[in-house]
């Protein structure tokens, strides 16, 4: 018998929540960070490494996978899990954000969006039902509604138009998704940086009785305090017994603070992208391995880390690899970064359970503020 999708709230500390999402492919401990596997791969990592770092779930990208290799092909190959060799939960986004940010000559109507591929210029149509169909072909465990994401800053009329269209699309996605006990479809709260529209969107989605809810349209250029203010408006209006997912966020500080405003799930390309560009995230904050101060430093990135990439290689070697453009440099720093993000999430989960989230947050941010170890 397959496990039906559900969310269990285990502990709270203020607005911070500790829970578990139960799925047919395993549990997701929350708060959770989902490494982004855009095109069926978490860039520069083996998936068993991703799992060993502590990830319970990864993210796949509907837009990229529908263009290449194609959703129907993935289905013929047994689904995304089988194709990439990942036996655990996968969340797929709807493709809406990538259409906004990557596709050319896009046209938005009530029926959906028509756009040109950024790869070969081929024209595609994506309706709410087609987005859900594609995600079903991929076989993801958590599927996102198609939405219209507005870049900030934006005029109130544009924000309202996108928010209301996204609500109508949520209804159509819910109908297309149907009854799938072992899977979930999440609605996406929109409304830009407008508190009234955020509240309207959250209330309307809550009435749809979905299995989970995402907060979208943030981390698109607004200051952190605006993002947190929108969470304060949104999260209390969402059902307490459903998971809350803040899309595309973010830095370690963004995640740490957003947990304190009621968020359960996160994803972002930052740890992988930063690793490919010579930037490491550590308990001492960010470390730029391109910097010449590391050229003669025999010490590891973090001698107390349990990640082999952080403790098993000298800073001098990592600096050499990055400056030489060697692939191994990107692989090692990505490994370190994904590991650090997962360690941060475990620390957050433990702190919420122990009701010391505020102390943990203060201690963690103080360590980042002190910065890296002194140069030799």
Q: Is 241 a catalytic residue?
A: no
- Edge-to-edge order in the sheet of strand 26-30: 6-13, 16-23, 26-30
* Cα(246)–Cα(234) distance, integer angstroms: 11
Active site residue 267: yes
Burial class (CB in 10 A: 0-12, 13-18, 19+), 356: middle
State how far the Cα of 276 lies from the Cα of 1, in Å rounded to an integer: 42
Query: Given 56, 93, 264, 297, which residue is catalytic?
Result: 93
CA nearest 239: which of 210, 278, 200, 271?
210
Which DSSP letter does residue 314 get?
A: B
Answer whether 95's CB lies under 8 Å from 131's CB: yes
Please say whether the dihedral angle defined by the alpha carbons of residues 322, 327, 329 and 330, taken in this order, is positive or negative: positive
Burial of 38 (0-12, 13-18, 19+ CB in 10 A): middle
Task: Indicate the DSSP class of residue 150.
Answer: P
Q: Give 86-132 as a DSSP string.
A: --S-EEEE-SHHHHHHT-EEEEEETTEEEEE-TTT--EEEE-HHHHH
What separation in angstroms does the CA of 295 have from each of 275, 290, 317? Answer: 18, 9, 8
Q: Which two tokens stand for residue 11?
A: 């502990």
Which one is catalytic: 141, 267, 297, 302?
A: 267
5: which DSSP letter?
Answer: P
- Catalytic positions, written as ranges: 93, 267
């Amino acid at each position: 018998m397959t496990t039906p999708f559900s969310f269990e709230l285990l502990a709270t500390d203020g607005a911070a929540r500790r829970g578990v999402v139960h799925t047919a492919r395993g549990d997701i401990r929350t708060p959770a960070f989902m490494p982004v596997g855009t095109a069926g791969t978490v860039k520069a990592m083996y998936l068993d490494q991703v799992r060993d770092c502590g990830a319970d779930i990864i993210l796949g990208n509907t837009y990229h996978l529908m263009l290449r290799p194609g959703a129907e092909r993935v289905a013929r190959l047994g689904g995304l899990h089988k194709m990439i060799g990942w036996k655990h939960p996968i969340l797929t986004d709807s493709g809406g954000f990538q259409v906004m940010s990557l596709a050319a000559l896009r046209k938005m109507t009530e029926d959906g969006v028509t756009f040109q591929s950024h790869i070969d210029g081929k024209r595609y149509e994506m309706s709410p039902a087609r987005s859900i169909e594609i995600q079903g072909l991929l076989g993801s465990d958590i599927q996102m509604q198609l939405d219209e994401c507005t870049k900030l800053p934006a005029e109130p009329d544009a924000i309202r138009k996108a928010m209301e269209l996204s609500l109508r699309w949520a209804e159509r996605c819910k109908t297309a998704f149907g009854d799938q006990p072992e899977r979930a479809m999440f609605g996406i709260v929109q409304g830009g940086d407008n508190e009234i529209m955020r509240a309207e969107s959250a209330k309307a989605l809550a009435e749809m009785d979905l299995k989970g809810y995402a907060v979208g349209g943030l981390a698109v250029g607004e200051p952190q305090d605006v993002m947190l203010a929108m969470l304060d408006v949104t999260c209390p209006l969402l059902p307490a017994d459903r998971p809350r997912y803040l899309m595309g966020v973010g830095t370690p500080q963004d995640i740490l603070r957003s947990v304190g405003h009621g968020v359960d799930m996160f994803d972002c390309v930052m740890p992988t992208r930063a690793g490919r560009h010579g930037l490491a995230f550590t308990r001492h904050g960010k470390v730029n391995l391109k910097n010449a101060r590391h050229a003669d430093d025999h010490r590891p990135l973090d001698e107390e880390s349990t990640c082999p990439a952080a403790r098993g290689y000298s800073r001098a070697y990592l600096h050499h690899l990055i400056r030489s453009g060697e692939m191994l440099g990107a692989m090692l720093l990505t490994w370190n970064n994904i590991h650090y993000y997962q360690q941060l999430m475990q620390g957050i989960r433990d702190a919420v359970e122990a009701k010391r989230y505020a102390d943990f947050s203060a201690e963690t941010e103080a360590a980042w503020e002190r910065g890296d170890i002194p140069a030799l």
